C-alpha cells in the first residue's frame, strides 16, 4: 500500500488511490450480495456505480473501505492486497460520505470536521485553517461552523459531510447516494458543485447512485451491477448504443420524461 500522504494546509496529496476487486464474493446470511465480482478503479478517475436496489453497489464501497470483508476473492489498494491491520490507515486517507451525511447531532459543524484531525493530533489552528479552506471550496458561509446539524438545511448538511470527508486531504472519495434525500432543486445545485469539486481536486471518486442521469453527469464511466455482478461497464453512449442485454436497455429507458404540455 502506498505511504500515507501529507495533510498539511495548502499541500497536495502525493497521488490518488487505486482500488481493485478480484473475484469478490460476499454474503450476508443467506443473501448473496456479490458473486465473483471483478472491477478496478484507476487512480484519479471518477466512476459511478449504478443498479437497482440490492444489486451490491453499497457493498462494493464498504469493501473498498474495509467496513466489510470479502468471503472470497481479494480487495487491492494501490495494487497490494488489503490486510486487516491496514484498514485503519486506509480509512485515514479515504473520505467516505453517506446519504444524509451521518453527522453527529451533538457536535457543531466544526466539531464534526475536527474528529479525524484531532485523532491525527492536529492543533486547533490547523483544524480551523483547513475548515476555512473547505468552507470556501463548498461555498458555505463561515457562520455555519458554529451551528449544529439540526440547524442546517439538507443541502448544507451534505456539503458539511463532504467537508468532513475532505478534512485530511484524502487520496480518494467514496460516496454512497450522497444526494439521494435532497429535494430536486437542491440536488441539481449540488450536482453542479460536486462535479466542479471532483474536477478541481483530481482524486479517485467512486459514487453510488440509482439515478442514471446523475451518474452520467458525474462520471464518464458507468458500472451497472445486477444481482451482485457487473452487467455492463462503459460510457452512457455504450449503454445506449451497445447494451449488454435487454435489462440494460430497460434500465436506460426507465427514467420518466415530463409529460408533453397540452395543446
Q: Report the b/e string of 196-215 with b at 16+ CB within 10 A.
A: ebbeebebbbbbbbbbbebb
How far apart are alpha carbons 7 and 165 in whole angstroms?
13
Give every CB contact of residue 246 below 8 A, 6+ residues apart in sequence. none
The CA-CA-CA angle for residues 13, 19, 24, to 5°, reads: 160
Cβ atoms of 120 and 7 within 8 Å: the answer is: yes
- Please report the pLDDT score of residue 8 as a whole number: 36
Classify domain 19-93+172-253 at the CATH topology level. Rossmann fold (3.40.50)
Query: Residue 11: its pLDDT value, please?
Result: 39
What are 195's three cell numbers? 462535479
Q: What is the pLDDT of residue 60?
A: 97
- Model pLDDT, residue 201: 86
Q: How large is the C-alpha radius of gyration of the chain?
A: 19
C-alpha cell at 134: 473547505
CA distance from start to end of the chain: 62
Q: Running along the chain, 263 residues long, what does each successive block of 10 average in pLDDT?
A: 37 71 96 96 96 93 96 96 94 88 93 94 96 91 95 90 92 89 75 85 92 91 96 95 94 71 54
Distance from C-alpha of 103 to C-alpha of 137, rounded to nearest angstrom? 19
Phi, psi (degrees; rounded to nearest 5) at 219: -130, 140
Domain boundaries, the chain: 19-93+172-253, 105-169
- The neighbour count for residue 70, using CB atoms within 10 Å, is 19
- Which residues share a beta bridge with 25? 72
Please give the pLDDT value at position 5.
37
Q: Measured between alpha carbons, how far is 3 from 141 in angstroms, rounded to an integer?
A: 35
What pLDDT does 180 receive?
Answer: 72
Check if the beta carbon of residue 142 is closer than 8 Å to that of residue 90: no
Q: What angle do CA 160, 162, 78 make, to 5 degrees?
A: 155
Q: What is the pLDDT of residue 166?
A: 93
In this prediction, residue 62 carries a pLDDT of: 96
pTM, two decimals, is 0.87
**Grid cell locating 28:** 450476508
Q: How far is CA 239 from CA 8, 184, 224, 226, in A?
A: 42, 25, 9, 14
List helix spans (H) across the chain.
Answer: 57-64, 87-92, 109-113, 115-119, 124-137, 154-166, 184-201, 212-218, 236-241, 246-253
Res 155: pLDDT? 86
pLDDT of residue 261: 59
pLDDT at 160: 93
Amino acid at each position: 500500500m502506498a505511504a500515507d500522504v501529507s495533510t498539511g494546509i495548502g499541500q497536495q496529496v502525493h497521488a490518488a488511490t487505486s482500488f481493485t476487486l478480484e473475484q469478490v464474493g460476499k454474503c450476508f446470511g443467506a443473501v448473496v450480495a456479490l458473486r465473483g465480482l471483478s472491477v478496478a478503479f484507476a487512480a484519479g478517475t471518477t466512476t459511478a456505480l449504478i443498479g437497482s436496489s440490492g444489486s451490491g453497489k453499497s457493498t462494493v464501497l464498504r469493501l473498498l473501505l474495509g467496513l466489510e470483508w470479502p468471503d472470497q476473492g481479494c480487495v487491492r489498494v494501490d495494487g497490494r492486497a488489503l490486510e486487516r491491520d491496514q484498514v485503519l490507515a486506509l480509512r485515514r486517507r479515504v473520505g467516505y460520505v453517506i446519504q444524509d451525511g451521518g453527522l453527529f447531532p451533538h457536535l457543531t459543524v466544526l466539531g464534526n470536521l475536527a474528529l479525524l484531525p484531532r485523532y491525527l493530533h492536529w492543533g486547533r489552528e490547523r483544524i480551523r485553517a483547513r475548515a476555512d479552506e473547505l468552507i470556501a471550496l463548498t461555498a458555505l458561509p463561515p457562520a455555519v461552523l458554529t451551528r449544529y446539524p439540526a440547524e442546517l438545511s439538507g443541502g448544507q448538511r451534505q456539503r458539511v459531510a463532504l467537508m468532513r470527508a475532505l478534512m485530511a486531504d484524502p487520496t480518494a472519495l467514496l460516496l454512497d447516494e450522497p444526494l439521494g434525500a435532497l429535494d430536486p432543486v437542491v440536488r441539481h445545485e449540488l450536482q453542479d458543485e460536486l462535479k466542479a469539486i471532483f474536477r478541481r481536486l483530481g482524486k479517485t471518486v467512486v459514487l453510488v447512485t440509482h439515478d442514471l442521469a446523475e451518474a452520467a453527469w458525474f462520471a464518464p464511466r458507468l458500472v451497472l451491477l445486477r444481482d451482485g455482478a457487473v452487467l455492463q461497464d462503459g460510457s452512457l453512449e455504450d449503454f445506449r448504443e451497445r447494451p449488454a442485454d435487454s435489462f440494460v436497455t430497460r434500465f436506460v429507458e426507465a427514467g420518466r420524461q415530463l409529460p408533453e404540455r397540452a395543446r
